[in-house]
Amino acid sequence: MLSTSLTPSQETGKLQIMHLKRFWEKSLLKREGKIINGEFKEEWRFDKILMSALGLGLEQTTVYLFETVPGFEEFEDWIIKTAGMPASENIARYNNELGGRNLLNEDIPDVLSDEQLKFWDQNGYLILKNAVSKKDCDETIDIICQSIKINREEPGTWYQHHVSQQGIMVQLFQHPLIQKNREAVIVRKAYEQLWGRTDLWCTADRVGFNPPETDEWKFPGPDLHWDVSLSLPIPFGLQGILYLADTASNQGALTVVPGFQNRIENWISELPAGANPRQQDLHALGSFPIAADAGDFIIWHQALPHGSSPNTSQKPRFVQYMNYETLNFSEAEEWI
């Protein structure tokens, strides 16, 4: 138990954004074991969207805090150095939403056709064609290659592990072009239409590199899984991925179980008593690898089992993970 109370969320530093000092303090207390897992769980959404407002990856920030243990002013300096000075409109908007004043009230976009919406209702995913230009995709791939010291055209360079790689994930969060991709108009509007609201925050997520399998290197996962608690009912939520290169179905493509958002409750309720839904053969449910072109963006319902797949082609898969979320997004009390 804490012997002293935490800094109020309303207290700010030189960046003038609420909750940041409290987040910093909580992080250091967790590092010292003075905050137990699950404590302040109700603030998780504030923490996560705070990172979105600042253009920071949550994992990226947590690693920095745990490894460096900075003072608060040093932490603010690192934020500016890493992601730039936060946009004043993001600071104002976050402070307002944290205080319960949602000032973003715009008309819901109407960019998805009736045919797309029907496909979404049936399958729980959509492919937005040409969401990002081929030129920007190629340049983003160049940025990834430079970051992890590989050559896109030289397979001999693909398997030299770089410190920023975590399996097929690459811890690259900030770059002007990566941010430009996140701001693709059709992507945001599609998210807003599916959510039925415009007060969405774009997350600062990672990029990905999945090379072909060899005798020495095998796909490390993640295989089919969920990133949400399976406590029923599962709340509405979305996830997304941008293909930076043409991706065939055997090229490590995103794999989902189409339409499972419509039958997950029945499936879970029919499992034998004590069975762990995460340990079932999820591919047997009807997994499907999604082939698409460079610049295509795939959105899927979070109730779909999803994951990458082994790359048995001759070319690597390059992707960028992107998502839009709300500050008051509901989450289950219990993780199942």
> Environment class of residue 332 by beta-carbon count within 10 Å: exposed (0-12), middle (13-18) or buried (19+)?
middle
pTM of the model: 0.94
- Strand pairing category for 255-256 and 306-307: antiparallel
pLDDT tens for the chain, 336 residues long, are: 444 589 999 999 999 999 999 999 999 999 998 887 777 888 989 999 999 999 999 999 999 999 999 999 999 999 999 999 999 999 999 999 998 887 666 789 999 999 999 999 999 999 999 999 999 999 999 999 999 999 999 999 999 999 999 999 999 999 999 999 999 999 999 999 999 999 999 999 999 999 999 999 999 999 999 999 999 999 999 999 999 999 999 999 999 999 999 999 999 999 999 899 999 999 999 999 999 999 999 999 999 999 999 999 999 999 999 999 998 777 777 788
Ranges of H-type helices in 221-283: 264-269
Q: What is the distance between the alpha carbons of residues 145 and 149, in angstroms, rounded to a whole number?
A: 6
Q: Are 81 and 36 in contact (CB under 8 A)?
A: no
- Strand pairing category for 125-128 and 297-301: antiparallel
Q: Are 277 and 176 in contact (CB under 8 A)?
A: no
Q: Which position has the token pair 């897992």?
A: 37
Residues 6+ apart with CB under 8 A from 170: 144, 147, 148, 162, 164, 206, 207, 208, 209
Q: Which CATH superfamily is domain 114-325 in?
A: q2cbj1_9rhob like domain (2.60.120.620)
Q: In the structure encoding, which two tokens stand for residue 94, read together?
A: 């976050």
Instruction: Provide the residue ranges of all domains of the chain, joining segments of one domain with +.
Output: 20-98, 114-325
Query: What is the separation of C-alpha 166 from the centre of its chain, rounded to a whole number of angstroms?
Result: 15
Burial string for 173-194 (b: 16+ CB within 10 Å, else e) reads beeeebeebbebebbbbbbbbb
